[in-house]
Each structure stands twice: as structure tokens, then as C-alpha cells.
Structure 1
Amino acid sequence: MHPKVAISSEFFSSVLKLPKAQQEKAVKFIELFRQDPTSPGINYESIQSARDRNLRSVRIDQAYRAIVLAPERGDVYILLWADKHDDAYEWAGNKVLRINPENGVLQILEAQYIDEAQQLQQLTGQKTKPGLFDAIKDRYLVRLGVPEELMPLVRHVEIPVDVDDLKAKLPDEAYEALAMLADGVSLEEALSVYDVSLQDEPAQIDTHDFAGALDNPDSKRRFLLASDDEALQTMLDAPLEKWRVFLHPLQRKLVFRDWNGPVRVLGGAGTGKTVVAMHRAKWLAERALTDRETRILFTTYTKNLAIDIEQNLKHICAPEALRKIEVINLDAWVKRFMDKQGYPTNFAFDKRQKKQLWDNALVLKPDALDLPDSFFHEEWEKVIQPQNVNSLENYFKARRLGRGVQLNRTLKKAVWPVFENYRSGLDDAGLKETEDAYRDALALIQTKSIQLPYTGIIVDEGQDFGLNAFRLIRQLAPEQQNDLFIVGDAHQRIYGSKVVLGQCGIKIIGRSRKLRINYRTTEQIRHWAVSLLNGIAFDDLDNGVDEQTGYRSLMSGTEPIIQCFANAQMEAEFIVNSLKELTDQGLAKACIAVRRHADMERYRLALTESGIPFYQIDQNALDNTAQPGVRLATVHRVKGLEFDAMYVAGINEGIVPLAILDSDDPTIIRERQQRERSLLYVAITRAKGFCSISGFGKLSQFISSKPA
């Protein structure tokens, strides 16, 4: 049999750190190695200092070495690390590869932590306090990924906060599971998340079968089989963007399977929901290649997100599969569809036009009720449009839960002419709001029995869609296997209102999943951002509550920098001086995000005067990576993007939340403030390693009142 060859994700990262000449040699070596790891041109050398006798050294050039797992039993070879000779040997001396005896996953352990665990084992009899995980048997912890050699480290944890000390010592899957348990997730739920059995019988795992371990789906989070030409080339093209190849096992279970109906996937910022959605689209498209007519529709709320997603899909999809995926935001899809059907649609997005229509309608406002203009705007958005109210009779029946002003039938009759007049104004001007357009498109599909080519719909940022949008989405593909795949997070809702999928004909019972591990930001940034939302209840898109229990990051770093300056000039000087410490490459991975377009000018001016190049990411344009300089964008525009360094700037009182968003309805005020908090949460969680939050004069109340 041909040898089985694999490459670890850490190997790609280590190659990227090599000098350019050695990187090129390493890539050539990968090709030689994957073709025939037993080639005479590859000289395997024993490593005397290695704790794992299966580790070997191979030569990249005179000064650089690669570390390879080459077990004495079997025909398996795994590239693990590349570095200078002495550094590579030092790396190998501290690594031990083991096959977990309960779940069959291939794990890389640090020898120093094995020694620490052995020392703790000798102190077990001297423990005086109960351990956090005392009630859980060793066998179940091992099934959740805890290596047997490191069990004493886990048994000595006494309080939940100490679990974070294990982050660097345990394999990722073990830390993830323990963090969930420490946050209050039950053992049964944790085991079910990882599809692990609760039975007491030991698993039948051959701990010497490395070939079998590589086939384990959970091993594929860190090992890529070199026989996968497409995945290997993708990894070589972009070794830092591991999401293109190395999916988390929970992500893999969502992507690579048939679902018997609609699926909803929740997850906090940075948990890879969009990554899952893109790989799901790719998987579905590849299965549909034999049918010329069918398509996969990938839709999201805003045009810029659709542009970003389409660009990323080009990196993971072959041309044939890409042609099967139609990426478009829902508004654009509706306009194109209606135009094609002979019903041209003009969305009423012009604020001046809309204000004039409302001014005309409000002439009929009953003076005796003393209702502010904001009441009518909010009643239209919260009651009339979502419930498709088109007559006074329908208005009498409409639900008004959460509205601050109570209306009986007499009062409803008194205010209805305002809404009727506004609707007439829209019709006379040939304008439609998005809710009208969704409703019209749905009615057209149903009345004409229009058959669309979509066998599956992927919905990203589902929390930003409303009831009419989801009613339309439900109609775009027939109810069948793999029809709808919806990802979202109400904590990041910055556009739409609460929606209940079941009320839109989308039944997700038994097909709801959750991602909990943040792969983008450090734990410090994640924790700080989450604290902005403490005490606020967020929905799960289907009439339940979504809590962030077990939501953690695998990376650690510094706390966000929070500063309030005396004036705008001092804030701009701080940002400029910080950016000057970055290289040209670093500048392109940094972003200044502001709340309003009007705020950009002072930062553009400061960057220009300092000679720092910048590139403004516009609302409907792609972030062109070929353009040099720090990115400049609104906090709305950075949604879906990520940067090594984030400068969330100008976060002043009156700007976040915007003073103009005030209302006379306490319910509306709470909702808008919650949305503004979510907007800030979104901006902060774009940061991967560094985050600065700043303002001048007086910081936003959200920052000054945030708990420590």
C-alpha cells in the first residue's frame, strides 16, 4: 500500500515564519515528501533528545530541518514542524504524539506538562479541597479529549477560573470541553455536543493505529491528508487562513452531512458561523454538479457582506462548484427578480423622499391624542409592516406586544388615516419599502407558481432578517432534505428586529446547533466585548433565549486599551503614533472604525498629515487587499471582516448611542440602545490581537459604565 502522508496545521504556520528562501525550499520538500516519503532523497535522522521515539528529523537545507512523525509500526508519515536545526530539535524534544484511547483522536502533547502532571500525581493524597470535576469519571473526561497523561492537571482544578490556566497545557478539544463544564454545561450536554457516548464500557481503540487516527474526523482539525490535492494547494496559497481547510470537528459535523430539513446554527462573534456557511455551500454545490439547472443560493442582509463572501468562496471552491453558488444580498435578489417578472421595484431608501412622504401623511395626525411623530414611525415599523396590515380591519386584529402606547379600537381608528396616507404616498410615487418588496415577491411566486432553480438556501447573518424576509426565503426552495441552512447570532443584531422562524414556516426542531469556540479574538478581547451585553436577554431566532454559556476563545493576549482624551486632536495623535509602530504589512491588517461617515474626516486628515497610507472600505465595495495602508470604515461596514489591530474610535457620549435615536417609547429606547451595544460588540470582536477603544471629551455611557 502507498504510505499515508499528512501535514499538521502547525507545520504550515512554522513554514510561514521561515525566511523567504527556506519557505520556497520547504514547499518543494512538501511535494517530494507527499509523493514518496520513503524516497532515498529524504534522509531520516533520529533525535536523541526526543521523548517520542517516533519523531525524526529531515533536511530542508544545510541549516533548516523539518520534524516528522514516522512510527516504527505502520506506513504513516506526518510533517509536524520546520525551523532552524537547533530550534527544530528543541521543539521535537518537548513533543509527544498520542492517540486518545477513548475517542481515537491524534493529539500533540507537551512533555513539560506531562512532567508537571506526574509531579501533581504524587501530591494527590495531600489534597484538602474538592476538585471542580470530582463528580466526573476519568473515562468521560478522556472521551472529551483530556489525555490520560495530563489528568492530574485537571483533577487539581478547584474553581472555574482556574480552567483558563489549562489552556496552554491541554489539547484544544480538551480545554473547550472543560470550559463548557466549568461554565455550567452539564456532562450529558457536553458529551452530546461531541457525539461522545455516556456508556461506561471502555472504547475499543488501537492506540498504535496512526492511519486510523488520521481518518478520525476530530483529528482533521489539525492534520491534513496530503492526498487531498485541492485542500493542500489551498493551504499553500494561504497558510495563515486555516479556516479554508482545518475545520473544527463541530463545524465539520454541521457541514458534511445530510439534514432532513431546515438547520439553524447559533454562535458568538468569531466562532466561524460564516466559515461553516461557506463550506456548506461548497459541499452542496459539489453534490449538485451533475444537475445543470440547479443552484445554491447564498444570501445575507447587506450588499457588502455578500461581496466579501463571494470573494472568500473563490478561495475554497473549484470553478465548477462556484458556478453553482449564487451569492447575493436579499434586497438585490428581490429587485432583480421583480424586474425580471415585469414589476420594476424602486426601493424607498432616499431619506429626503421618505421624510417628505411622512410629513404629508402626518398632516392627518389626530391632535387630540397628542402623539409624537416618532410613535407613527415606530408603529409602522413594528406593527404595520411586519404583520402586513393593509386595512383598518387588519389593524384592529394586529398584535402590539411591546408597544409603549396602548390603543383601543377607537384610537386605532383615529390614527389609521396617517398610515393609509403614507401608503398612498408610496404608491403614488412608485416607491416600495423593503418589507413591501419581500411581500410582493412572495405573492408573485405563490400566485404564479414560479419554480426557482434553488435546491438549497444558505442564510448568513440571519438575525438581521425580519418575518417577511424569512417567509420569502422559505418559499425560494422546496421543503426537502438540505433545503435551508441559517446561521446567526442575536448578540450581533444591528439591523433587524426579533424574529421567530417557526412563524415563518421554518421548522428547526431537532436541527438546531451552537458553536462556542471563538477562533478570531483573544480571550481578553472576547470577555471585554461580552461584558458590554451583560444583563441583556437575547433571542435564539425561534422564540427562545440564547445564552453565551461556554463561549470562549482559545487565544490569549492583552486587555483592550480604553482611553478618553481631552480633545479630538489628542485622540488622533494617539492612533497615529500607535500606527507608526506597524510595518507596511501590519498597516494593511489594521483598521480604524467609526460610528458615522461624518466622523471619518478627522481621521483621514490626521493620517494624511502623518504620511500614513490608508484605504477606505466603502459600504458596497470589497476590502481590496492589494491596496496598502490602514483600513478606515464605519462600524457597520466592518461586520464580517477581521483585523490584527482594531482602533474603535470616537466612541463619545451622544455618538454611541446616537442621540438622534431617542424615542418617546421606553420599549423602543431599550431596543435601540441594545442595538447600539451590539454594534459596539461587533466592532470590538473584529480584533484578533489588539484592540483600542477611544473617545474624547466624554466617553460613551456604554464604556464608562461597563463592569470590570
Structure 2
Amino acid sequence: MTAATHSPSFPPVAESADEVLLGLDPEQRQVATTLRGPVCVLAGAGTGKTRAITHRIAYGVRAGILQPASVLAVTFTNRAAGEMRGRLRGLGAGGVQARTFHSAALRQLQYFWPRAVGGDMPRLVERKVQLVAEAAARCRIRLDRNELRDVTGEIEWAKVTQTVPGDYAGAAAKAHREVPRDAAEIAQIYGLYEQLKRDRMVIDFEDVLLLTVGILQDRHDIADQIRSQYQHFVVDEYQDVSPLQQRLLDLWLGDRDSLCVVGDASQTIYSFTGATPGHLLNFRNRYPQATLVKLVRDYRSTPQVVHLANGLLAQARGKAAEHRLELISQRESGPEPAYTEYPDEPAEAEGVARRIRDLIAAGVPAGEIAVLYRINAQSEVYEQALADAGVPYQLRGAERFFERQEVRRAVVTLRGAAHSGANDPLLDAVVDLASQVRAVLSSQGWTPEPPAGSGAVRDQWESLAALVRLAEDFSRAKRDATLADLVVELDERAAAQHAPTVQGVTLASLHAAKGLEWDAVFLVGLTDGMLPITYAKTDDQIEEERRLLYVGVTRARLHLTLSWALSRAPGGRGSRRPSRFLNGLRPGSAALRRSAGSADGPADGERGARKRGRRGPVQCRVCRKTLTDAGEMKLMRCEDCPSDMDEGLYERLRDWRAGQAKELGQPAFCVFTDKTLMAIAEAAPAAEGELAMISGVGGRKLERFGADVLAICAGEEPGGGSGEDA
């Protein structure tokens, strides 16, 4: 098997150290055999980085150079850690610890707490939202559900960047955070949240890292014990390390340099959580003697998909862009990416559902298809369209697999069958593990053929079918595996939340799709204002939005479709523009002419149109909430959502309006209402057509005042009022 294919969950065990190296390309082999000193692996999407680092660890163990118990491999998700453990076990390195930063730190904290602090460790609060809500209420600050979520995210960011409540406002401003409430209010809530935790003797996930760092800093004896245990470190997705995680890694390392880091600055999409690619980009400054290996052979995607991905990054700017990797596809040629424009969002969803149904009919499994969007609020129209088309789907980020009622029941039944062994009549006629699992789960509703349609019955069948497939993979990798062995494997996966794949089209946000791949990917809703998102203002924020699209493109192995809708609802004004990131890449589009100081300045005719309010809007362009207030509909956003209004322009427009109103002898709102002026100041239209798209600017007002308004927006003096009644 080459790196081009999907690795099974449980690869066959290698017979020797040299056999571990078989099938690796030259760069992957260099990673696997460079076991001394610091190593930095810059690995592009689809280049087999997990394969390279797991083979590196396994080769070191099988060659007797590394002791399994002395290696700590760290990644960022339970799923990735579970996959790494499975691969290492298959390669004969089952004793290696592969964990997330939080999991590794929690294990150490639990072990050393009685010695370092004394007594029982505080209880871990898995969901901090309730405490944040209580803290806000005690501060007499009302938060709606979205604000509560966002304020909780701000507290998490502050903690991973090691920012205390008193410093939050300044740190947030310096980092250009789009704060959901006044920064002073968030700091107040943050401070009381910390006090409530202390009063109740509880800690949160960020505290796990903070407390572990504190103990290792203060107790050199404990730090030395951990360092004697773990002598070799591997960190995956190193571009996503936060300052707090880097501090913990430094303490684990001490003065040693037996460290291998793997990452890709072009896939940095979590800066809002405190992640920074700076540690990856500066690795060789810190370790001048480090070995640098670049993985650029893309085994995942066709040349057509890779060409588009490379084209996206070719337009990027900033430090991360300077370190971009030019991928080289190793696959055979495939279809060109498809670009589709629709009149409205329901039409886009229906069109995507039809194409998905055609792909399934052509033999592409539903589980190998994904629909990816910028924000979760976009999923509803695709859920409805797929349901109407009779296509099964799953929402990524919904209920955890092992927490589903049917999965819990199935595992209990399998455990009971494993205990009863030969006395279970269900198992009398079957010998191999996979057949035993099918026999047991048939009593829970599994059948060889799926039930018709969608809904709860189909969802439950898909869950049981995923367990059957997992058993098949497990038995292929471990020929003598028993039902009891499988139950142990399921328990380990449940503890790590390492779920098998459920068969159904995946609906997921671009952020949630990181680390995954499918045969066919539909990137939807690609309009300016959605990607890049409206509230991405700074150069760095715009570039992160571009990287987010890059991540979406590189999820596709073979089929890639990019689409957008010109309006939100049927019959709406088709004033949306395709994402600026596609300019120069999609057929018929020209490359952008960038203005000085702009990360991505649109071409001349598009400057104002990319963030405009439109006639007849019904959804906030920031949070996607349905708008009913006429004033909010003019702005195309909620009153409380972030504004990109030019305050100076707004004041100049108000002064001009006052003069017009006085000259006409009418109230100011008869010229333009405040909301319309705000919409103009947010849009800064550069042409008459752009001004006409703003709600509140009708034909007569455009004729009477359009020239003046456009002059003011251009920084020029208006030519004077018309003197006619509006």
C-alpha cells in the first residue's frame, strides 16, 4: 500500500524495523530515520504526515533506539490521537503514549496532585457555560445564548494566552479581537468566573494546562520525574500550538532537544482560540541545528484539485504565505473543479443535493461525500434539501458517537456476549469475529441492508453498521481477535471519543472538517461577506479566511464543487459577489488588483459591493439571525453585531444631510434616515450601481442626491443640493 491510499484503521503489524520503512517516499523515509536532535517537518495537506511520524516512532522502537514508554506523541484531537495509537499498535509500537495536550496534562496532574498540593484534585467542569452564565448574572450583565458562547470563547482565549482578567481588555485590543461585548464587561465576567471556580473547588480544561505548568515550574523534583519518563517528543499540528501549550512542552523538554514537530502554516485556522504558527515558523531560529524536511507529494488529491489549492496560496500574503508549500499531486488526473452560481440559497442547496444524488447513483458512497460551509447556521437549508432528496446525512459536531443510545446498548450487548462466550446461542454457528458481531447486533436492529428513507431508524442503523465495519477492520488487522478484544477496543475508543465513520453525507463547517477527507467535497456559500466573513477586517484575519478555504479545497480527493448564491431568498436582489478568493482561479474571472496596504483589495468595480446591504434582506450578514426590524434590515445586520462603518464618513454624511434638510425645509430623515446613512457609511459605495443596492436609496433619491453622496464617499466635496423636494 502506498501513501496514496486510505490507511485502514488497523494496519498489519510490521515484521522488522526495515519493513516499517517500506512504502515510504524519500522525504517520509528521511523523517522516519532522523531520530536524533530536533526535527521540523513542514507537511502539506495530503502528504502523509501521520504516516511519516508514526513510522518514525515505530522505526525507532523496532530498531531499539527508542523505548516505547519514553515517547510521548501529542496531537490536538482525541480522534487524531486514537488514530495514531491504532497505527502505532499495528506497526509494533503499542506501548507509545499518543495523547492530546489536555489528556497528557490531566493524567500528570491527577498523579502528582496529592504530592504537589495535597488532598483530592478539584473536580473538572467539562462545560463552563453554566458558570459563565452565573458570573454574568451576578455582574448584572444579560447575555443571550450566542453572546454566552462567545464570551466563554473569549475567556478560553484569555487563559490559553495566559492573560489575567485585569489585562484582558488591553490584550484583546492588541490582538484585534472582535469582542462580543464591551471588553470591560468581559473582563468583569472573567474575573467573577474565576472566583466562582475557586469558591466551588472546580477547575476547567484550561486550568488543567495552567496547573500542570505551575506544578512543573515550582516542583523541580516532579519535573525531573516526568522528564526521566518521557525523553522523546513528537508534536503533530504544531501550527496550532497556543502559548500555554508551548510553555507546557518547554517544561516537558527541559534542556533537551529530542523533539520532532510537524505542521503546515497554510493550515493555521484556529488563531481565534490562541493558536499561532509562530512556533512552527520560528523553530529553526530556536534550534539552528534542526533537521528540516518538507513533505510536498500530495497523495490525497488529483492534480486538478492540487492546482486549485496551489493557486489559492499563490495569492496569499504574510509570514505564513512566505513558507507555503507547493504541492505536487501523485494521483492520476481527475475531473476539473466545478464552479456553479445559483440565484438563491434554496436553489444552491437543491442543486447540491441533486449532484450528490447523482454521485451516489454513480457509485460514490454517501460517507465519502461532504458539504462544507463557513458557519454552522448554513447547515439547515442543506439538511432540508438532502432530506427531500432522500439522501442520508450526518452533522459533524452533533451528538458524540459513543454517547448515542443505540451505540451504548450495542456495546452492552457485545460485552454480555463476550462474557457468556460459547454459552451464547447467537454465536454457536459463527466463528470469525466480524460474523459474531453481525449476529449479536442483529438482535439490536442491524440488518445487511439499510432501511428505506432517512430519519431516526436510518440513523440508528447507520450507527450499528459503523460498529460492524469497525469489527471487520479490527479482525483483518488482528486475525486471532476475540469478541472480548473488540469490547476492550470499543471501551478505549469511547474513552478517547475515537468514533468510527458513519455512512451518510457529512455536513460540517470548514473548521470542523480539518483533518478529514472525502472523495467528493462541495464547498458552498462562497460569497464575499461569508468567505471571507464580514467581520474579518485586518490583513491577518483576511489571510486566515483564505487558509480556511484552502483547508476546504484540500479535503477533496477527486470531485470538488464550489458554489455560491446571488441572493439569500428566491426573488431577492442578486447582488452578492463570489468570494474574492476565487478571482483569477474560476473560469471567466480576473485576478484581483490589490491596493496598497490591503490584504486583498477587490478590483475597482467591486470595492464597495463586497460588503453591501441589499434590498429585501432577511438575515444578519454577521450572525445569520433572521431580521424583522426595518432598521436592522436596512443595515443587513443586527444592531448588536459588529459594524464596519467608517465613523468619519458617517459624520460627513450627517453634516451634508443637515444642510440638505435645511435647504429643503424638511426633517433630516426625509433626505435619508440614520439607518440608511449608516448603511452607506458601512458600504462606502464607489459607483452609482453600488449606492442603488443600499436599502433606503430609491430611484428618485439616487437621482437627487447620488452624485453628492458618491463624492462624499470618495473624500471629495459635494456639488450642492438639488433644491428640489425629495
Taking structure 1 as the reference length, the TM-score comes to 0.53
Tell me how far 1:415 sits from its aligned partner.
Answer: 11
Counterpart of 2:23 in 1: which secondary structure? coil
Match of 1:694 in 2: 563
Please list the CA deviations of residues 195-244 of structure 1 after superposition, one character each: whole Å capped at 9, or x if unmatched.
Answer: xxxxxxxxxxxxxxxxxxxxxxxxxxxxxxxx97579999xxxxxxxxx9
After alignment, is 351-360 or 573-582 more displaced? Answer: 351-360
Match of 1:706 in 2: 583
| Unaligned stretches of 5+ residues in structure 1 | 1-7, 14-226, 235-243, 364-371, 406-411
2 CA distance for matches of 1:351 and 1:534? Answer: 41
- 100, 105, 109: which one pairs with 1:334? 105
**CA 1:379/1:331 → structure 2, altered by over 3 Å: closer, same or farther?**
closer
Would the aligned equivalents of 2:527 and 2:579 in 1 still touch at CA under 8 Å? no
2 CA distance for matches of 1:404 and 1:601? Answer: 31
Query: Aligned letter for 1:491?
Result: S
Tell me how far 1:458 sits from its aligned partner.
Answer: 1.5
Tell me how far 1:327 sits from its aligned partner.
Answer: 2.2
Residue 267 of structure 2 corresponds to residue 487 of structure 1: no
Would the aligned equivalents of 1:460 and 1:486 in 2 still touch at CA under 8 Å? yes
Please list the CA deviations of residues 129-183 of structure 1 after superposition, one character each: whole Å capped at 9, or x if unmatched.
Answer: xxxxxxxxxxxxxxxxxxxxxxxxxxxxxxxxxxxxxxxxxxxxxxxxxxxxxxx
Match of 1:501 in 2: 279
Q: How does 1:120-135 map to 2 (within 5 A)?
A: none
**CA 1:391/1:357 → structure 2, altered by over 3 Å: closer, same or farther?**
closer
Tell me how far 1:472 sits from its aligned partner.
Answer: 0.6
Tell me how far 1:310 sits from its aligned partner.
Answer: 3.5
Q: How does 1:209-358 map to 2 (within 5 A)?
A: 245-260=22-37, 262-287=38-63, 294-314=69-89, 316-318=90-92, 321-322=93-94, 324-340=95-111, 341=113, 342-344=120-122, 346=124, 349-351=127-129, 353-354=131-132, 357=135
2 CA distance for matches of 1:598 and 1:612? Answer: 20
1 CA distance for matches of 2:283 and 2:42? Answer: 18
Would the aligned equivalents of 1:616 and 1:632 in 2 still touch at CA under 8 Å? yes
Q: How does 1:4-403 map to 2 (within 5 A)?
A: 245-260=22-37, 262-287=38-63, 294-314=69-89, 316-318=90-92, 321-322=93-94, 324-340=95-111, 341=113, 342-344=120-122, 346=124, 349-351=127-129, 353-354=131-132, 357=135, 385=159, 388-390=162-164, 402-403=174-175
- 228, 232, 244: which one pairs with 1:468? 244
1 CA distance for matches of 2:189 and 2:387? Answer: 49
**CA 1:378/1:641 → structure 2, altered by over 3 Å: closer, same or farther?**
closer
Query: Aligned letter for 2:557?
Result: K
- 570, 573, 576: which one pairs with 2:350? 573
**CA 1:351/1:418 → structure 2, altered by over 3 Å: closer, same or farther?**
closer
Tell me how far 1:576 sits from its aligned partner.
Answer: 2.8
Match of 2:663 in 1: none
Query: Aligned letter for 2:505?
Result: V
Counterpart of 2:359 in 1: which secondary structure? coil
2 CA distance for matches of 1:362 and 1:530? Answer: 50
**CA 1:419/1:510 → structure 2, altered by over 3 Å: closer, same or farther?**
same
Match of 2:704 in 1: none
Matched residue pairs, number?
Answer: 445
Tell me how far 1:653 sits from its aligned partner.
Answer: 5.1
Tell me how far 1:466 sits from its aligned partner.
Answer: 0.8
Residue 366 of structure 2 corresponds to residue 587 of structure 1: yes
Would the aligned equivalents of 2:77 and 2:100 in 1 still touch at CA under 8 Å? yes
Match of 1:22 in 2: none
Would the aligned equivalents of 1:256 and 1:283 in 2 still touch at CA under 8 Å? yes
1 CA distance for matches of 2:246 and 2:194? Answer: 23
1 CA distance for matches of 2:285 and 2:216? Answer: 17
**CA 1:373/1:649 → structure 2, altered by over 3 Å: closer, same or farther?**
closer
Please list the CA deviations of residues 467-522 of structure 1 after superposition, one character each: whole Å capped at 9, or x if unmatched.
Answer: 110111222345446x2211111211122432543999994323133223322222
Match of 1:138 in 2: none
Residue 604 of structure 2 corresponds to residue 604 of structure 1: no
Match of 1:676 in 2: 545
| Unaligned stretches of 5+ residues in structure 2 | 6-12, 114-119, 142-146, 178-182, 402-496, 568-575, 586-726
Query: Aligned letter for 1:608?
Result: A
Residue 297 of structure 2 corresponds to residue 517 of structure 1: yes
Whose strand fraction is larger, Structure 1's or Structure 2's? Answer: 1
Query: Aligned letter for 1:270?
Result: G
2 CA distance for matches of 1:330 and 1:458? Answer: 11
2 CA distance for matches of 1:649 and 1:527? Answer: 19
Identical counterparts, % of pairs: 23
1 CA distance for matches of 2:346 and 2:22? Answer: 44
Query: Aligned letter for 2:559?
Result: F
Residue 493 of structure 2 corresponds to residue 635 of structure 1: no
Please list the CA deviations of residues 270-294 of structure 1 after superposition, one character each: whole Å capped at 9, or x if unmatched.
Answer: 22222222222322343569957x2
Match of 1:437 in 2: 208
Counterpart of 2:301 in 1: which secondary structure? strand
Query: Aligned letter for 1:572?
Result: A
Would the aligned equivalents of 2:334 and 2:558 in 1 still touch at CA under 8 Å? yes
Tell me how far 1:249 sits from its aligned partner.
Answer: 0.2
Please list the CA deviations of residues 379-412 of structure 1 after superposition, one character each: whole Å capped at 9, or x if unmatched.
Answer: 9777x646635597x999x98995569xxxxxx9
Please list the CA deviations of residues 553-607 of structure 1 after superposition, one character each: whole Å capped at 9, or x if unmatched.
Answer: 3444333212232234322332233232334554332222233444434333433
1 CA distance for matches of 2:510 and 2:154? Answer: 28
Would the aligned equivalents of 2:156 and 2:206 in 1 still touch at CA under 8 Å? no
2 CA distance for matches of 1:525 and 1:578? Answer: 18
Counterpart of 2:336 in 1: which secondary structure? coil
Query: Aligned letter for 2:336?
Result: E
**CA 1:598/1:539 → structure 2, altered by over 3 Å: closer, same or farther?**
same
Tell me how far 1:643 sits from its aligned partner.
Answer: 1.7
**CA 1:400/1:247 → structure 2, altered by over 3 Å: closer, same or farther?**
same
2 CA distance for matches of 1:414 and 1:634? Answer: 30
Whose helix fraction is larger, Structure 1's or Structure 2's? Answer: 2
Tell me how far 1:376 sits from its aligned partner.
Answer: 9.8
Would the aligned equivalents of 2:40 and 2:262 in 1 still touch at CA under 8 Å? yes
Would the aligned equivalents of 2:265 and 2:323 in 1 still touch at CA under 8 Å? no
Would the aligned equivalents of 2:304 and 2:337 in 1 still touch at CA under 8 Å? yes
Match of 2:523 in 1: 648
Would the aligned equivalents of 1:588 and 1:625 in 2 still touch at CA under 8 Å? no
Would the aligned equivalents of 2:84 and 2:98 in 1 still touch at CA under 8 Å? yes
Would the aligned equivalents of 1:348 and 1:431 in 2 still touch at CA under 8 Å? no
Taking structure 2 as the reference length, the TM-score comes to 0.52
2 CA distance for matches of 1:615 and 1:635? Answer: 15
Counterpart of 1:548 in 2: which secondary structure? coil
Would the aligned equivalents of 1:435 and 1:469 in 2 still touch at CA under 8 Å? no
Query: Aligned letter for 2:371?
Result: I
1 CA distance for matches of 2:279 and 2:36? Answer: 17
Residue 299 of structure 2 corresponds to residue 424 of structure 1: no
Match of 2:443 in 1: none
**CA 1:290/1:531 → structure 2, altered by over 3 Å: closer, same or farther?**
closer
Would the aligned equivalents of 1:339 and 1:345 in 2 still touch at CA under 8 Å? no
2 CA distance for matches of 1:546 and 1:704? Answer: 18
2 CA distance for matches of 1:308 and 1:673? Answer: 32
